[in-house]
Amino acid sequence: MPSSQPTPTRLFPLQTRVIHASAGMRLRVVSGRLWLTQPNMAQDLFLGPGSVVDLLQDWVVIGADAEPSNTPQAHYSEYQLMPLVAPAPSWFQRLRKSRIANRVRSGVSVIW
């Protein structure tokens, strides 16, 4: 059974990434320290393990700190990105949950 938490993404010291989050994403720092800058924001953020930030725009830049604290042996930072809204179910998932599908599975014939 798949885990509900996404696999952490790893950034090495001074490595950066651009996140496009106009659909809404939640950033959670797993380990190390991240620097985050967002367009039209007056201040940057420095985030440590356990920090959570909701992102609602494109061109968000995150970067790993030069020397992540509290991780003396592993010289990297890790984060997770999760959508703020669950993805819509596919047509097949909706069909499986429908009453018609339940009747067909139970052996009851459906005549229109």
CA distance 32 to 64: 8
Looking at per-residue confidence, does 18 or 1 come out higher? 18
- Tell the residue number behind the tokens 């993404």, with chain if given: 9
Beta-bridge mates of residue 81: 27
> How many residues belong to the chain?
112
Kindly report, residue by residue over 42-65, the tens digit of the pLDDT: 999 999 999 999 999 999 999 998
Residue 4 lies in a domain: no
Residue 15 lies in a domain: yes
Do the beta carbons of residue 68 and residue 76 sit within 8 Å?
Answer: yes
Residue 2 lies in a domain: no
Q: What predicted TM-score, i.e. pTM, was given to this entire model?
A: 0.69
Kindly report, residue by residue over 58-111, the tens digit of the pLDDT: 999 999 987 655 555 568 899 999 999 876 767 666 666 666 555 555 555 555
Q: Residue 80 sits in which domain range?
A: 9-105
Query: What is the number of structural domains in the chain?
Result: 1
Residue 36 lies in a domain: yes
Residue 88 lies in a domain: yes
For residue 93, give the CATH number of its domain.
2.60.120.10
Residue 71 lies in a domain: yes
Residue 112 lies in a domain: no
